[in-house]
């Protein structure tokens, strides 16, 4: 098939927009930590993006999209981008590679939630390289690269399992291995730069349009459907989370933006399969569920500090299931539970469960090994002084 | 009248406030400061070298109180702000000669 | 007509960029209020966007673009997006719906200027829903949905009346109903986070390219014309406002960015009808006029706090008239006053006047009703403490 | 040739993204100065963009792209955009004009590095207008407008010499003429708002995709190549700079982002000519080289305050040479040194040397003249108080 | 010599400065602080519950002055900073033993 | 015991700290303040008019020290913070009656 300039233009721009989400995650997280760790949070997002960029073009893309090996991983055909050309269906293969790169980058950035304010920078880099290679790449292969999940018929339009379940449950495993921040539960560790978080959230909302619509890989009706339901779900999640937190107390802006992100996460796997009115429900329920998950986490005294698990993990799980519930053949060719297709729902359940299990266990093992070999955590003094100074030798007024 | 200036760990502020409230001491003025004590701040090990981070954020609480309240307040602050480690802070007491309200013409002159 | 991937790609991305303008408004405004209200300003923009998103897909789009009823409002044909499909001329109808959604969202965000630092959050939500339904939707219908103004031949390329006059004069009405901030005129209430405002202004300038060029609904010469004149007008407005304020004192960065916004507002209705050299004049005069309007407002002791009236209202009025003056048939098919077409100028005058009257009066009535029923304003203590704490239970260091 | 909606959509959006880089530079720089000058830095970027916008549409475009006069400068054919139409090859000529405008704008913004925290605002405006007319416009003509360098066969895909060498070496000349900041070398002048710098850097990285890919002027394979190598080079530069600074001390976030910018600068002239694996080397070496240049500048006591010379100047020089080294005929039709084409390398050397010489000397002369006539520098008191207050009458908490 | 420490509403700072200037008192040092008085801050009603916002931003002005200037300064601050409502602030006066310039070797020793 | 409060130029803080360290004086508390002296701040000329920027950022150093340390510390601060131009700052000395540690029950009472 010949290249289409419209589709190519679309995916190039979408790639740039998704790239911007990675610093978006950094700002989003950075505003929620204590000011002494704000640089560290943002820098980790940049570092995640930088190392994944190199990992992806050398080996990651091949592991994810090389010829299928036992349904589990891709072969080494595309190592160093050999054989990834400028031809393709609608868009060049090389552009597809690049669009996938920015997904891999942001996923690692999301993961930093679980180790916020206490991780050793060098260990994060090693951990990150291992994680993206051993967790992200296989999951991407399963869903999109010809692996077992895609073969089984599991639907994941833009990365509900690959991006969100993986990073959300991965962050949970990390948080367990690394342990609580010192002082957690003893004194308050409230968000100190909420403006920064709201700015980061804006960039996320903006970029998510490209994340989801771009996953159609063409500027067509499917992309437009993804765009529309993405926005609806975000709005709906923002409103329900705000509403629920209003009943319990005051409607915080953090709740509002977290709800939007919850809605965005949940619609991610579904956006090429469900219609606008389903999106209201998916996003609305995501806001409630993720808020509930957050409260549960806090009650359990778990220091998965910036709630990647509650929002990305649980939101991603709900999104995977919701795809199996609300999918409509009129939109993406497959029907879900409400149209009587129990089968699809079960597939989604299997796929999500496998992703949860794999992401959690593998992350746990990797984290344990890194911890044993080089120590995952900074010393008590370094933590007290803050990572900005202790890891980067910097500090900032804002 | 005396002024009590307590320099504490920022993360202890809520505890100290609560402890003082319980004893009935409300009025206070709080300032964000940085400081170092005799220990010269915090020593980090970095590739064998010692790096000293000498200006650590602290919270300063200032309370102007009657002479008899000085002792109980010091006790309360100590009880609620102490961790036992370096950096817990200091309390300074000095004399105040006059306290004047702005809202009205109330004044208290220390004899 | 078949879909065009280039046009579709274009409008999807433009939609995302215009979406980003809404937090842009929040940051722009947030930097200009006292720090105790910065979260509130940004959050209101998010809330505006969220509630309008849901309102638009359920009912707003239909009221604006449903079949015409007496030239005043659209019918209920598209309720819940029924009948809004993936076909269309160049771009899917659904995408047109979405592109219009982001316009409706930002308009409500602009309106928050008039109630800044003193509005009760719950009342703002109710007011916002009423306003977008009763003010924005009819005005959108008049201009673009088959209503009387469009029929009359009024030109409004990207929303001079619909977006800017409506929100600008609406904000003025709100400011009158809600009353001055306590302390207004007694002590200074200067902008406290100018960096944030400049950042917000940057996002506005960026998004405005999509706002205006995207209004061509195709990636064609008309879009390019809109792009070029938009930038020229912004630059010109920035320069004249800066120059004028320099003569009076020092050239503030707020003047610079306000001038740019004034230029952007004024070119909005005109950008599909006028050429580059006219844009220099339109933007340049907008900078002077809006600066004058701001000084006038301050002199009158009016607390339309963040100058939506001076900039969007008066800039939008000037833009509507300027379209009637500088329109050139070579560009958009219609000539204006300078080419001897008095008729068009009169139409613009009628259209703008009607929009001003309608927006001001309706907003006034809605605000009065909300005020009576639930109280528009926070208590004195809540205002003193700031809306961040009193409405959201949050505070931020920056 | 007929217009292509895909290409047109692509370049419109790219234009907007590159526009956003100009405030991006302002934020990037603004975070690195002392807080009393942060508004000034950001405002200068806006002002640069505004005045260049008007200069470009009135005269600059013509000087750059008008009919060639002796290989040195363009004629006055396009003054006031006469004759710049909506036809073109793939994209309208008018869009090409606009895409070039945003390049001219950002270049002047980069230049402000050399006069940071001490320049008189009025003098900057005069200097800026002279500089863009007498330095930027000729250099753009040489490379892209039919001038001698292009004729000679010099390769500069997206502006290594035109944008980066010119502003980098220009900034050096400015720094020498204006002199050190008072107190430079005596007490520390460290970055005070690193979050702002990281945000600015994010916008740069984002916009650079459009800067480089857009320079293909079409949504094609060449654009995709530019996109891919741009990201690789940025990542690679970030990693090597971080690594090098880690060896010397702590890996600062400023080093990380500076390395990314160094990589982005170096790949700019090369991105249409080299492949992914070359990009790893180009970016990686750029990180080391520019870091070295920075250390050298500091050692020499030169107050080219925000390192436009070290990063843009030296990075641009390396990029120009690297293009001559790594160019591959398979990608951009020309081979470089590693494929045995010494000739191309020599051309690159001549081109870069000429650009360095011209930019440095002309900037030096212009700066001297402006200094003589109106004084380039604020008074000692104004500098002490800070430019925000002394030049803009404003101050900000962040 | 005495040091006068006045804790006022931030929005009154300009008024107070202007009033002091008029009387010829210029030198001062100003700090942003937070505080609560005997009223324990500000009470907001929220769905029947009372929410207390107890740390309210205040501005602290410190002026070191001759003994005879204390009274007129207190009067001036009161006149310019008073609103009559809770939260207007307090003025504290305490002794200073020595004032030394840094620019030169001038010193004033309090007897 | 005395408390020494020095108000200096922010850009001199590092020098002053280093000079004090050299003499063996470590403990201090530092606050960001703004201030004006008798010169009413800094005068800028703007088109023939004078614009006064009256609140200049300063750094306040507070040190509680033994009586005998007052003189050497003042000397050290003067030596390291002086530029000779207006705005160099002031040093204020006042009495402290009691210093209490928080980490343990150490106390020093001034006689
Ligand atoms: N003599 C002093 N003068 C002024 N401030 C002091 C003095 N001693 C201690 N402080 C303040 O109290 C804080 C805590 O002191 P301390 O517990 O001795 O500190 P550390 O263990 O960090 O050396 C310091 O950071 C400083 O702000
Ligand atoms: N005894 C005190 N010690 C220290 N600071 C005080 C004292 N009393 C009042 N203040 C300061 O003065 C401010 C205003 O006091 P006041 O007018 O009594 O307060 P409010 O009405 O807010 O309770 C307080 O916020 C606090 O910073
Ligand atoms: N009498 C005073 N009371 C309180 N603070 C003072 C006094 N005199 C000077 N200061 C503080 O010291 C700083 C520097 O004072 P000085 O060198 O006299 O200032 P300047 O030359 O700026 O007028 C002032 O900005 C102020 O913060």
Query: Using one digit for the tens of pLDDT, what is the confidence trace for F20-36?
Result: 999 999 999 999 999 99
Between F47 and A46, the higher pLDDT residue: A46
Q: What is the pLDDT of residue E106?
A: 94
**Distance between A169 CA and the closest CA of chain B, angstroms:** 30
| Nearest-CB residue to F31 (from E31, E101, E103) | E31
pLDDT digits (tens, 9 = 90+) for A125-169: 999 999 999 999 999 999 999 999 999 999 999 999 999 999 999
**Distance between F38 CA and the closest CA of chain E, angstroms:** 5
pLDDT digits (tens, 9 = 90+) for A368-384: 999 999 999 999 999 99
Could you tell me the two tokens for A138?
């296989």
Closest CA to A108 of A124, A122, A120: A124
> For residues B12 and A353, is the Cβ–Cβ distance under 8 A?
no
Q: What is the pLDDT of residue F111?
A: 66
> For residues C294 and C172, is the Cβ–Cβ distance under 8 A?
no
Dist. CA D311–CA D294, nearest whole Å: 8
- pLDDT band at residue B44 under the 50/70/90 scheme: confident
Dist. CA C393–CA C245, nearest whole Å: 38
Tell me which chain D residues have a C-beta less than 8 angstroms from the C-beta of C396: none
In this predicted structure, the answer to whether residue C251 has a pLDDT above a threshold of 90 is yes
Ligand 2 neighbours (beta carbon < 6 A): B 27-29, 62-64, 103; E 7, 35-39, 41, 56, 58, 86-90
Dist. CA A21–CA A102, nearest whole Å: 9
CA-closest residue to ligand 2 atom 26: E35
Dist. CA E37–CA C309, nearest whole Å: 40
pLDDT digits (tens, 9 = 90+) for A184-223: 999 989 999 999 999 999 999 999 999 999 999 999 999 9
- pLDDT band at residue B45 under the 50/70/90 scheme: confident
The H or E element spanning position F63 is strand F56-65
Backbone Cα Rg of chain C? 20
Closest CA to F110 of C281, B92, B97: B92
Dist. CA B68–CA B75, nearest whole Å: 12
Could you tell me the two tokens for A173?
């495993």
pLDDT digits (tens, 9 = 90+) for D197-248: 999 999 999 999 999 999 999 999 999 999 999 999 999 999 999 999 999 9
Q: How far is CA D384 from CA D31, D147, F68, F80, in A?
A: 18, 45, 36, 19
Q: Which chains have 3+ CB pairs within 8 A of F?
A: B, D, E
What's the CA-to-centroid distance between A6 and ligand 1, angstroms? Answer: 65
In this predicted structure, the answer to whether residue C1 has a pLDDT above a threshold of 90 is no
Using a pLDDT cut of 70, give the percent of chain C over it: 99
Phi and psi (nearest 5°) for C85? Answer: -110, -175
Neighbours of A349 (CB within 10 A): 15
Three-state SS for B1-17 is CEEEEEEECHHHHHHHH
**Distance between D313 CA and the closest CA of chain F, angstroms:** 30
Dist. CA A34–CA A227, nearest whole Å: 34
| Cα D267–Cα D271–Cα D277 angle in degrees, nearest 5 | 80
Helices and strands, number each (H, E), in chain A:
18, 2
The H or E element spanning position F8 is strand F2-8
- pLDDT band at residue E111 under the 50/70/90 scheme: low
Q: How far is CA A115 from CA A40, A123, A133, in A?
A: 11, 11, 19
> What are the b/e assignments for C264-278, b being 16+ CB within 10 Å?
bbbbbbbbbbbbbbb
Tell me which chain E residues have a C-beta less than 8 angstroms from the C-beta of F55: 30
**Distance between C379 CA and the closest CA of chain D, angstroms:** 27
pLDDT digits (tens, 9 = 90+) for F49-98: 778 888 999 999 999 999 999 999 999 999 999 999 999 999 999 999 99
Neighbours of C377 (CB within 10 A): 18
In this predicted structure, the answer to whether residue D100 has a pLDDT above a threshold of 70 is yes
- The residue in chain F having the minimum alpha-carbon distance to the alpha carbon of residue E100 is F91
CA-closest residue to ligand 3 atom 27: F35
Q: Which residues pair with D52 in a beta bridge?
A: none
Dist. CA B29–CA A48, nearest whole Å: 43
- pLDDT band at residue B52 under the 50/70/90 scheme: confident
CA-closest residue to ligand 2 atom 18: E37
CB contact under 8 A, D218 and A5: yes
In this predicted structure, the answer to whether residue E34 has a pLDDT above a threshold of 90 is yes
Dist. CA A355–CA A314, nearest whole Å: 12
Q: How far is CA D244 from CA D238, D240, D251, D291, D307, in A?
A: 10, 6, 8, 8, 17
Between B42 and D72, the higher pLDDT residue: D72
Neighbours of B105 (CB within 10 A): 11
Ligand 1 neighbours (beta carbon < 6 A): B 7, 35-39, 41, 56, 58, 86-90; F 27-29, 62-64, 103
Could you tell me the two tokens for F81?
């913070």
Ligand 3 neighbours (beta carbon < 6 A): E 27-29, 62-64, 103; F 7, 35-39, 41, 56, 58, 86-90
> For residues A349 and A321, is the Cβ–Cβ distance under 8 A?
yes
pLDDT digits (tens, 9 = 90+) for C169-181: 999 999 999 999 9
Residue D161: DSSP 8-state = I
Contacts of A239 (CB under 8 A, 6+ apart): A259, A284, A287, C50, C51, C54
Q: Is B98 at the interface with chain E, CB within 8 A?
A: yes
> For residues D267 and D332, is the Cβ–Cβ distance under 8 A?
no
pLDDT digits (tens, 9 = 90+) for A48-104: 999 999 999 999 999 999 999 999 999 999 999 999 999 998 999 999 999 999 999
Three-state SS for chain C is CCECHHHHHHHHHHHHHHHHHHHHHHHHHHCCCCHHHHHHHHHHHHHHHHHHHHHHHHHHHHHHHCCEECCCEECCCCHHHCCCCCCCCECCHHHHHHHHHHHHHHHHHHHHHHHCCCECHHHHHHHHHHHHHHHHHHHHHHHHCCCHHHHHCCCCCCCHHHHHHHHHHHHHHHHHHHCCCCCECCECCCCCCHHHHHHHHHHHHHHHHHHHHHHHCCCCHHHHHHHHHHHHHHHHHHHHHHHHHHHHCCCCHHHHHHHHHHHHHHHCCCCCCCCHHHHHHHHHHHHHHHHHHHHHHHHCCCCCCCCHHHHHHHHHHHHHHHHHHHCCHHHHCCCCHHHCCHHHHHHHHHHHHHHHHHHHHHHHHHHHHHHHHHCCECCHHHHHHCHHHHHHCCCCCC
Residues 19-58 of B with CB under 8 A from E: 21, 26-31
Dist. CA A38–CA A231, nearest whole Å: 29
Ligand 2: which atom is nearest the Cα of residue E90?
A: 12
Angle between helices C221-248 and C276-299 (to 10 degrees): 40
Contacts of A70 (CB under 8 A, 6+ apart): none
Ligand nearest to the CA of residue F1, numbered in listed order? 1
| Cα C294–Cα C297–Cα C300 angle in degrees, nearest 5 | 150
Q: What is the mean pLDDT of residues E12-40?
A: 94
| Nearest-CB residue to A92 (from D192, D201, D224) | D224
Ligand nearest to the CA of residue B101, numbered in listed order? 2
| Nearest-CB residue to F88 (from E94, E98, E103) | E103
Q: How far is CA D321 from CA A85, D331, D353, in A?
A: 26, 17, 10
Q: Is A181 at the interface with chain B, CB within 8 A?
A: no
Q: What is the mean pLDDT of residues A287-293?
A: 98
Q: What is the mean pLDDT of residues E96-104?
A: 97
CB contact under 8 A, A385 and B43: no
CA-closest residue to ligand 3 atom 14: F89
pLDDT digits (tens, 9 = 90+) for C265-283: 999 999 999 999 999 999 9
Dist. CA A283–CA B56, nearest whole Å: 44
Phi and psi (nearest 5°) for F110? Answer: -75, 135
3-state secondary structure of E99: strand
> For residues D394 and D388, is the Cβ–Cβ distance under 8 A?
yes
Angle between helices D253-267 and D221-248 (to 10 degrees): 140
Ligand 2: which atom is nearest the Cα of residue B30?
A: 27
Mean predicted lDDT score pLDDT of chain C = 97
Backbone Cα Rg of chain D? 20
CATH 3.20.20.140 assigned to E7-109:
no
- The residue in chain E having the minimum alpha-carbon distance to the alpha carbon of residue F79 is E102
> For residues D18 and C202, is the Cβ–Cβ distance under 8 A?
no
Q: What is the mean pLDDT of residues C18-31?
A: 98
Neighbours of F68 (CB within 10 A): 8
pLDDT digits (tens, 9 = 90+) for D362-376: 999 999 999 999 999
Tell me which chain E residues have a C-beta less than 8 angstroms from the C-beta of C387: none
Q: What is the pLDDT of residue C398?
A: 63
Q: What is the mean pLDDT of residues D119-128?
A: 98
Could you tell me the two tokens for D192?
């005070």
CB contact under 8 A, C385 and E53: yes
Q: What is the pLDDT of residue B50?
A: 78
> For residues D312 and D110, is the Cβ–Cβ distance under 8 A?
yes
> For residues F60 and F108, is the Cβ–Cβ distance under 8 A?
no
Q: Which chains have 3+ CB pairs within 8 A of A?
A: B, C, D
Could you tell me the two tokens for A107?
């996923």
Dist. CA C121–CA C394, nearest whole Å: 14
| Nearest-CB residue to B27 (from E36, E85, E88) | E36
Q: What is the pLDDT of residue B46?
A: 75
DSSP state letters, D11-52 = HHHHHHHHHHHHHHHHHHHHTTS-GGGHHHHHHHHHHHHHHH
Ligand 3: which atom is nearest the Cα of residue F7?
A: 12
């Amino acid at each position: 098939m010949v290249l289409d300039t419209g589709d190519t233009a679309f995916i190039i721009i979408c790639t740039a927009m998704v790239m911007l989400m990675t610093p978006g995650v950094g700002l989003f997280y950075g505003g929620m930590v204590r000011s002494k760790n704000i640089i560290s949070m943002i820098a980790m997002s940049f570092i995640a993006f930088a190392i994944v960029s190199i990992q992806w073009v050398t080996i990651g893309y091949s592991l994810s999209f090389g010829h299928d090996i036992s349904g589990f991983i891709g072969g080494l055909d595309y190592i160093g981008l050999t054989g990834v050309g400028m031809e393709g269906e609608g868009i060049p293969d090389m552009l597809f590679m690049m669009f996938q790169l920015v997904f891999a980058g942001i996923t690692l950035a999301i993961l930093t939630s679980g180790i916020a304010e206490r991780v050793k920078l060098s260990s994060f880099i090693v951990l990150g390289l291992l994680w993206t290679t051993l967790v992200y790449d296989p999951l991407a292969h399963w869903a999109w690269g010809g692996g077992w999940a895609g073969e089984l018929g599991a639907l994941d339009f833009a990365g509900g399992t690959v991006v969100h379940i993986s990073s959300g449950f991965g962050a949970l495993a990390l948080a367990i291995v690394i342990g609580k921040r010192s002082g957690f539960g003893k004194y308050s560790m409230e968000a100190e730069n909420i403006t920064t978080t709201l700015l980061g959230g804006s960039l996320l909302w903006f970029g998510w349009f490209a994340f989801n619509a771009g996953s159609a890989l063409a500027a067509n009706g499917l992309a437009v459907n993804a765009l529309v339901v993405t926005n609806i779900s975000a709005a709906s999640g923002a409103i329900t989370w705000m509403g629920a937190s209003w009943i319990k107390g005051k409607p915080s802006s953090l709740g509002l933006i977290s709800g939007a992100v919850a809605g965005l996460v949940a619609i991610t796997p579904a956006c090429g399969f469900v219609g606008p009115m389903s999106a209201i429900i998916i996003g609305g329920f995501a806001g409630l569920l993720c808020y509930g998950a957050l409260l549960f986490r806090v009650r359990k005294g778990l220091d998965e500090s910036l709630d990647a698990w509650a929002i990305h993990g649980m939101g991603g799980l709900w999104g995977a299931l919701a795809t199996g519930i609300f999918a409509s053949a009129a939109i993406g060719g497959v029907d879900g539970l409400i149209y009587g297709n129990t089968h699809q729902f079960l597939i989604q359940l299997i796929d999500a469960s496998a992703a949860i299990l794999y992401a959690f266990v593998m992350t746990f093992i990797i984290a344990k090994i890194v911890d044993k070999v080089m120590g995952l955590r900074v010393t008590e003094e370094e933590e007290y002084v803050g990572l900005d100074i202790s890891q980067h030798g910097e500090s900032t007024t804002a | 009248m005396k002024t009590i200036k307590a320099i504490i760990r920022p993360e202890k502020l809520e505890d100290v406030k609560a402890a003082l409230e319980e004893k009935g001491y409300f009025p206070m003025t709080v300032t964000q400061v940085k400081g170092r004590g005799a220990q010269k701040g915090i020593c980090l090990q970095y590739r064998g070298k010692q790096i000293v981070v000498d200006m650590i954020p602290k919270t300063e609480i200032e309370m102007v109180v009657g002479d008899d309240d000085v002792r109980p307040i010091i006790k309360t602050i100590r009880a609620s702000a102490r961790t036992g480690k370096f950096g817990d802070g200091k309390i300074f007491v000095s004399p105040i000669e006059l306290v004047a309200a702005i809202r009205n013409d109330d004044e208290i002159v220390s004899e």
